[in-house]
Amino acid sequence: MTRPSRQILPQDALDDTDRAILNALQDGFPLTPCPYDDAAEPLGIAGSELISRLTRMRQIGAITRFGPFFDAAAMGGAFCLCAMAVPEDRFDEVLAQVNAHPEVAHNYERTHALNMWFVLATDRPEGIERTAKTIEKETGLKVMLFPKLEEYFIGFRVQA
């Protein structure tokens, strides 16, 4: 199970170049033999510096991931946001049951009667329904499915 650090970094953990890297690398990383060199050029740094800054940002937890983002639906599979209302006294037990499924890509505790929100990602469309049903059987709790009908935007900017 992966539990990313919820440690907040000190304000000076990232400098302006780090922030410029975070904004610049949100899309379009080159598919070229030396992509770090090519991506570094417009930032005014060397490829080796880009690599060392990304390595450091990953080590300190400023970034969770760097690499290709795959669309499960385009691979013939699916993503689906799901929610469950988990009784407080069973939370840890149910969490272990839910997170044990590799199809659970993200899982968040939220302030609502529906207090556990997770994303199922499967490489076969029938995997969503199958995994949700399995979780219902294991936990005895209803899994509500909220598939996306339309997507309006995905992005994030850090203050440069």
Partner 1 sequence: MTAPLDPIDRRIVKATQAGLPLTPAPYAAVAEALALTEAEVIARLASMQDRGIVRRIAVAPNHYALGMIANGMSVWDVTDDRISELGAQVGALPFVTHCYQRPRALPGWPYNLFAMLHGESRTEVEAKRDEVAALLGTACRSHDILYSTRILKKTGLRLRDE
Q: Applying CB under 8 A, does 34 fall inside the site for partner 1?
A: yes
Tell me the two tokens of residue 108: 């968040």
Q: Is 32 in the site for partner 1 (CB under 8 A)?
A: yes
Buried b (16+ CB within 10 A) or exposed e, 44-66: ebeeeebeebbeebeeeebeeee
Size, binding site for partner 1 by CB under 8 A: 81
Candidates 45, 47, 97, 141: give the one binding partner 1 (CB under 8 A): 47
Given candidates 37, 38, 49, 129, which one binds partner 1 under the rule CB under 8 A? Answer: 37
CB 160 within 8 A of CB 20: yes
Sign of dihedral through CA atoms 126, 128, 132, 135? positive
Q: Which is nearer to partner 1, 116 or 132 (CB)?
A: 116
Min dist CB 24 to partner 1, Å, is 9
68-87: contacts with partner 1 (CB under 8 A): 68-72, 74-76, 81
